[in-house]
């Protein structure tokens, strides 16, 4: 093997090793953040972020846990609730509609629930929730999502102009927990890349950021 090839292979190996170190470091930071989430404070609206809807049209277990957490928060402090999520290609209905029906069936008045059915990612969830709440949005909102997802959701909520606190619902254990944390770490890497490059990567493609 020529000297040039050896140098190239060593460089590639070093970059892979560096990438692995960065990834594991960010995974460790994420785990720490989840374990040190501040308690939910006073809030004037609740934003529930969507997750998978099963083929029978009911929430999967993690979405149900998010909704149950939101329901408990609403019972403790009745206020407007925004439920967010579009219809995925493998879902029979929009997540926002399924989430709305779940809360209505459990006693939340219809006029209290606002459904966003157009958002495909966390940033769009929060942006559409802000539009639904409108000019009368409260000073502080409560963001409800799975615990592993909450630190990034709160970071994005701040970007979208919210003064937000959070409530994390449980995460499935075993392989599901490993998968969720692994994917969330990649999502953090994507978010940092977007901020560094001044872009947003969403359902509509790549766009230049115009906000903060």
Summarised one tens digit per residue, pLDDT across range 57-106 is: 999 999 999 999 999 999 999 999 999 999 999 999 999 999 999 999 99
pLDDT exceeds cutoff 60 at 211: no
Asked if 152 and 122 touch (Cβ cutoff 8 Å), the reply is yes
Asked if CATH classification 3.40.50.620 holds for the domain at 37-171, the reply, yes or no, is yes
Bridge partners of 167?
144
Describe the crossing of helices 3-35 and 175-197 by its angle, rounded to 10 degrees.
110
At residue 212, the pLDDT reads 45
Q: Calculate mean pLDDT across residues 17-31.
A: 89
At residue 75, the pLDDT reads 96
199: confidence class by pLDDT, cuts 50, 70, 90: confident
Tokens 């329901």 sit on residue: 71
Domain boundaries, the chain: 37-171
Task: Name all contacts of 149-156 with Cβ < 8 Å and 24+ positions apart.
Answer: 149/49, 149/122, 149/180, 149/184, 150/34, 150/37, 151/30, 151/33, 151/34, 151/37, 152/122, 152/184, 152/187, 152/188, 152/191, 153/49, 153/122, 153/126, 155/191, 156/122, 156/123, 156/126, 156/191
- Name the burial class of residue 58, with classes exposed (0-12), middle (13-18) and buried (19+) by CB atoms within 10 angstroms of its CB: middle
Q: What's the chain's Rg over C-alpha atoms?
A: 19
- Name the burial class of residue 80, with classes exposed (0-12), middle (13-18) and buried (19+) by CB atoms within 10 angstroms of its CB: buried
Measured between alpha carbons, how far is 151 from 26 in angstroms, rounded to an integer?
Answer: 12
Is the pTM above the cut of 0.85?
yes
């Amino acid at each position: 093997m020529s000297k040039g090839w050896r140098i190239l292979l060593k460089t590639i190996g070093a970059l892979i090793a560096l990438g692995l170190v960065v990834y594991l470091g960010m995974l460790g930071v994420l785990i720490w953040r989840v374990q040190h989430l501040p308690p939910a404070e006073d809030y004037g609206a609740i934003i529930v972020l969507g997750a998978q809807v099963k083929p029978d049209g009911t929430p999967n277990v993690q979405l149900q846990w998010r909704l149950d957490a939101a329901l408990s928060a609403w019972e403790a402090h009745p206020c407007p609730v925004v439920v967010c999520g579009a219809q995925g290609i493998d879902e029979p209905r929009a997540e926002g509609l399924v989430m709305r029906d779940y809360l209505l069936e459990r006693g939340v008045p219809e006029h209290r629930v606002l459904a966003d059915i157009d958002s495909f990612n966390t940033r769009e969830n929060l942006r559409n929730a802000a539009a639904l709440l409108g000019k009368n949005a409260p000073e502080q909102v409560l963001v409800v999502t799975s615990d592993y997802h909450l630190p990034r959701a709160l970071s994005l909520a701040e970007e979208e102009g919210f003064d937000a606190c959070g409530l994390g619902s449980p995460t499935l254990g075993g392989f599901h927990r490993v998968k969720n944390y692994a994917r969330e770490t990649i999502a953090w890497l994507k978010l940092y890349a977007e901020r560094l490059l001044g872009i947003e990567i969403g359902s509509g493609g790549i766009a230049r950021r115009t906000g903060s």
